[in-house]
Amino acid sequence: MKGLSWLLQLLTGIALVLFVTYHFVVTHITGSLAYEEVLQRLMSLKVFYVIFLLIVVFHAFNGLKVISEEYGFKWSRIFYVVMVVAVAYGLYSLF
């Protein structure tokens, strides 16, 4: 399972680079926009931000899990509970 964790960490890391680049281009480089126009663009990309949130949370918690397992800490169900709570809070703040 350790190999799968590292593979998923690598893939989500690559996805994060692509997502952050796209977000930066859409919000900062596409010209000088008024606040309302920026807000409208961000609201039209909700699916993008939901996927982005899921990838960020998984990447962060998987990274913490892998590092702590290397130091001998054994994860229990609390890891998964905290990850689900983080996703739920993020989704709540998006909507």
What digits encode the pLDDT tens for the residues 64-79? 888 888 888 777 777 7
With 0.75 as the threshold, say if the pTM is over it.
no
Q: Where are the domains of the chain?
A: 2-94
Convert 47-79 to b/e letters by CB count within 10 Å (16 or more is b): eebeebbebbbbbebbeebeeeeeeeeeeeeeb
pLDDT digits (tens, 9 = 90+) for 6-46: 898 999 999 999 989 988 887 777 666 677 777 777 777 77
Q: Is residue 51 pLDDT above 80, yes or no? A: yes
pLDDT for residue 30: 66
